Structures are given as C-alpha cells and as structure tokens.
Structure 1
Amino acid sequence: MKELVEYILQFGHLNTQQIDLVLSKAKKSALRKDEYFSEAGKIPRQVGFVVEGVVRGCYYTNQGEEITRCFISENNLVVDYVNFETNTVSSDYLQACTDCTLLVFSKEHWEDLSRIIVAWDNIKNKMVQLCMYQKSRKGPVISQDATTRYLAFLETHPSLINRIPLTYIASYLGVTQQSLSRIRKNLR
C-alpha cells in the first residue's frame, strides 16, 4: 500500500486521515496471467493500481486481429476510464500479461473519495490524465522500420522485454512474432 500512497502524493497533498481513508477503500486483488481486469462488451466497474505485474491494453480489429495498444506496469493506474466514468460498454480489454497484484477500488468506493475528500477530485484528475495518456499512446510509428520500432520499445520499456510474451510485443510493434524473432536474432 506504500506504493499507492507514494503514487497519489505525486499529484497532491493528503493528510494522514485522508490517506487512511483512501487505503480503506482499496482491496488487494490478484489477477492471474491472461485474466482480464476489464473486457470489451462490458462496462468497467473498477479502478486498479498495479502493485506487481504487467497489464496490457488491447483490442481486436474487424478482421479479428489482436492489437496491443499499451503496457501498464507497477505503480500505475489501470482502468478504462472513459467507459468507467460514463457507464458505457468498453471496446477494449485490459489483460494481465503476468500474474499481477493490484489494489482495486470499486466504482462506489472511488466515487466516495470524491464526496469525502475535498482535494481528491484534483488529485484524481491528474492521475487519470496520466493513465489516459499512457493508454492512448499509439504503438510505435509504423512508418519506421521494424528494427527501429523494436529498439525504441527497448528504450521506453526496458524492464518488460523478459517479463511478457513476445507475441504481445510483436502485436504492439505491428509485426509478426517470426519477424520479431528475426530482429532479435540480428541484434545479438
């Protein structure tokens, strides 16, 4: 829970009583590899904070091709916030790439914090902006060659390369898994 407190305090000040209230609303939860935190076709009902593990945001094209949009690792919020906030059905999935430990807020508890803590909305808005920026970032620039995209991935996500399946990385980069294997082999 210490990680969550440090994360929140980056965005504003809360006193000890307010921090205790926030922590009392969070529930520790485990998400096994390949399980979904939220799914397309359903209304998102929770906000999570990744304590340990990696979650990916993905969707399927009309042709059934799976596209990985983003990776969310430790000390970040995980939520399909637009659909969460508007109570609308999501078109994206948030799926565990590894076994994950999360601190989870139900919609009711998340909204309670806004009603009780005066500074919460300002803090929440800053956290959500960062979360949405991370989620909405498009994958690598497809006009770059695949090797350049892979090297950029290594630079921006150095801790992920040995933690998540290569198929997800290939999807994120917009290449086949065979192409990614070839790129990796050529770089050794």
Structure 2
Amino acid sequence: MDELIAYILKLGQVDEQGIAHIREHASYMELPKDGYFSKVAHIPQQVGFILEGVIRGYYYNAAGEQVTRCFIAENSLVADYIHFEAGTRSSEYLQACTPCRLIAFEKKDWEALSHLVEGWDAIKHKMVHLCMYQKSRKGPVISQDATTRYREFMENYPTLIQRVPLSYIASYLGVTQQSLSRIRRNMQ
C-alpha cells in the first residue's frame, strides 16, 4: 500500500485522514499469470495499481490475430478506464503476463474517494491521464524497420524483455515471432 500512497503523493497533497480513507477503500488482489483484470464484452468493475508484475492490453484484429497494444508494469495504474467510467462493455483484454499483485478499487469505492478525500478529483485526473497515456499505443512506429522498433522497445522497456513472452513482444512490434527471433540473433 505504501507504493500506492507514494504514487498518489507525487501527484498531489493528501492529508492523513485522506490517506486513511484511501487505505480503507482499497483491497489487495492477486492475478495468476494469464489471468484477466478485464475482458472484452464485460463491464470493467475496478481500477488497479500494480505492485508486482506485468499486464498487457490486447485486442483481436479483423484477421483474428492478437495485437498487443501496451504493457503496464509496477507502480502504474491499470484500468480500462473509459469503459469503467461509462459502465459499458470493454473492447480489449487486460491480461497478466506474469503473476501480479495489485491494489484494487471497486467502482463504488473509487467514486466514494471523491467525497471523502479533499483534492481527490484532481489527483484522480492525473492518475487517469497517466494510465491512458501508458495504454495508448505510443510504441513502435510501423513505418520504421523491425530492428529499429525492437531497439526502441529495449530502450523503453528494458526490464520486460526477460519477463514477457516473445510472442507478446512480437505482436506489440507488429512482426512475427520468427522475425523477432531472427532480429534478436542478428543483434548479438
């Protein structure tokens, strides 16, 4: 919980009573590897903060292939926030790439904090903005060659290479797993 409180305090001021309310409305959650935080066609029910592990956001394209859109790791908010807030069905999956430990807020608890914690709405806005930025496909520029995309991935996500299956990385980069293996061999 201390990690979440530190994250929140970087984004705004919260007094001791506010921190107590945050602690009171949060719960711990574990996701096994390949477990889902959110699924397509389901209404997202919670917002999470990753203490340990990696979650990927993905969807299926028109050809039925999985496309990894983002990776979300420790000390980050994770949510399908647009659908969570609107109470509508999700259009993507949020799946654990590794075993994950999270702090989670059910919708009623997340909303209650707006009434209980002074300045919460401004802090929440900053957290959601960071979450949305991280989930936006800010990754590889498809017009770059695959080797350049992989190098940039290694620079942007140095800790993920050993933690995430190559098939997910290949999907994120827009290449086949065989192409990614060849790129990795040529770079050695």
Alignment TM class, shorter chain as reference: over 0.9
- Segments of 5+ residues of structure 2 without an aligned counterpart are none
Cα distance, 1:104 vs structure 2 = 0.5
1:94 Cα deviation (Å)?
Answer: 0.3
Q: Per-residue deviation at 1:3?
A: 0.5
Residue in 1 aligned with 2:27?
27
Question: How far does residue 138 in structure 1 lie from its aligned partner after superposition?
Answer: 3.9
Amino acid of the structure 1 residue aligned with 2:125: N
- Identify the residue that residue 13 of structure 1 maps to in structure 2: 13
Cα distance, 1:13 vs structure 2: 0.5
What's the TM-score once normalised by structure 1's chain length? 0.98
- The ranges of structure 1 where at least 4 consecutive aligned residues each deviate by more than 2 angstroms after the TM superposition are none
| Aligned residue identity for 2:143 | S
Q: How many residues align?
A: 188
TM-score (norm 2): 0.98
In the aligned structure 2, how far is the partner of 1:151 from the partner of 1:175?
A: 14
Q: Which residue of 1 aligns with 2:78?
A: 78
Match of 1:174 in 2: 174
Q: How does 1:87-106 map to 2 (within 5 A)?
A: 87-106=87-106
Q: Which amino acid aligns with 2:38?
A: S
Q: For residues 52-100 of structure 1, what are the alpha-carbon distances to aligned partners after superposition, in whole Å with 9 as ceiling and x for unaligned?
A: 0000010001211100000000000000000000001110100000000
- Stretches of structure 1 lacking an aligned partner (at least 5 in a row): none
- Report the alpha carbon displacement of residue 115 of structure 1 after superposing the two structures with TM: 1.5
Q: In the aligned structure 2, how far is the partner of 1:95 from the partner of 1:22?
A: 25
* Cα distance in 1, alignment partners of residues 139 and 157 from structure 2: 12
Cα deviation 1:126-175 (Å, max 9, x = unaligned) = 00001001101343000000000000000000010000101000000000
Q: Equivalent pairs: percent with the same residue?
A: 61
Corresponding residue for residue 164 of structure 2: 164
Q: CA RMSD in A?
A: 0.7
Q: Which amino acid aligns with 1:27?
A: S
2-side partners of 1:39 and 1:136: how far apart? 17
